[in-house]
């Protein structure tokens, strides 16, 4: 299977300024062949369950994951290489460096989620970075809120959409994929990050 990325990338795109140097790009229906790619990734990715220590006990992480450092090994699927190449063509100049990793999450249903966080591991507290997320499968909300409180945003991520968080966003905002009581089919997110961001 080959995956193509839409040529007219700016026809359905929007950059939202979040203040203090933070921004979010939203590009609807960015990945072509999203249905076939979803089906293939669901079956070929080496999904694994993780546990995290929370206070005095270990808890199951409420989603399956697969992380790939693309500087030390191949992507787990050729389409991920193509998506990364296209993202680097668009954003590496603004970012000042390429995307070097692909982290995948499988949200099996509405009870799978990720808690509030910012992707800053390995970066200084003043360094800007960028995280690009391609969504496949069921629509889920990516929620954003300023660190320390304030007005939050709820951004639905549809099948094939691209969301990019840039500038100071990882330092000044937190994001989450909240649980939902509404029955949901599976969703895969592919997060592309530069070096030392996780």
**CB atoms closer than 10 angstroms to residue 86:** 19
Query: Domains (ranges, CATH) in the chain?
Result: 14-193 (2.60.120.590)
Q: What is the pLDDT of residue 158?
A: 98
Average pLDDT over residues 73-99: 96
* Rounded CA separation 169/159 (Å): 23
**CB atoms closer than 10 angstroms to residue 186:** 15
pLDDT tens digit sequence for 139-159: 999 999 999 888 999 999 999
* Rounded CA separation 69/78 (Å): 14
Q: What is the pLDDT of residue 121?
A: 63
Question: Distances in Å between the alpha carbon of 186 and those of 11, 44, 131, 138, 148?
Answer: 28, 15, 22, 6, 32
* Rounded CA separation 72/83 (Å): 18
**Burial (CB count within 10 angstroms: exposed 0-12, middle 13-18, buried 19+), residue 197:** buried
Ranges 52-61, 100-109, 126-135: which has the least confidence: 52-61
Mean pLDDT of the chain: 91
3-state secondary structure of 79: helix
**CB atoms closer than 10 angstroms to residue 44:** 10
* Rounded CA separation 127/97 (Å): 13
Q: What is the pLDDT of residue 58?
A: 80
Q: What is the pLDDT of residue 198?
A: 72
Share of the chain above pLDDT 70, in %: 91
Q: What is the pLDDT of residue 12?
A: 64
Residue 55: band (very low, low, confident or very high) from pLDDT cuts 50, 70, 90: confident
Ranges 75-89, 114-128, 159-173, 180-194: which has the least confidence: 114-128
Average pLDDT over residues 96-106: 97
pLDDT tens digit sequence for 60-79: 889 999 999 999 999 999 99
Question: Distances in Å between the alpha carbon of 27 and those of 71, 81, 159?
Answer: 26, 19, 11
**CB atoms closer than 10 angstroms to residue 64:** 19
User: Residue 156: CA atoms inside 13 Å, Cβ hemisphere, count?
Assistant: 8
């Amino acid at each position: 299977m080959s995956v193509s990325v839409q040529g007219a990338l700016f026809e359905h795109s929007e950059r939202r300024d979040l203040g203090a140097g933070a921004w979010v790009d939203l590009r609807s229906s960015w990945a072509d062949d999203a249905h076939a790619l979803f089906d293939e990734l669901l079956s070929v990715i080496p999904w694994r369950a993780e546990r995290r220590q929370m206070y005095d006990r270990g808890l199951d992480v409420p989603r399956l994951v697969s992380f790939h450092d693309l500087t030390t090994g191949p992507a787990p699927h050729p389409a991920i290489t193509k998506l990364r190449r296209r993202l680097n063509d668009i954003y590496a100049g603004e970012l000042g460096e390429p995307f070097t990793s692909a982290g995948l999450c499988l949200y099996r249903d509405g009870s799978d989620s990720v808690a509030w966080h910012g992707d800053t591991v390995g970066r200084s507290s003043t360094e800007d970075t960028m995280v690009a997320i391609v969504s496949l499968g069921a629509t889920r909300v990516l929620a954003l809120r300023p660190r320390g409180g304030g007005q939050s945003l709820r951004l639905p991520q549809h099948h094939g959409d691209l969301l990019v968080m840039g500038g100071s966003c990882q330092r000044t905002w937190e994001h989450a994929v909240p649980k939902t009581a509404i029955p949901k089919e599976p969703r895969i997110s592919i997060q592309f990050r530069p070096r030392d961001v996780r």
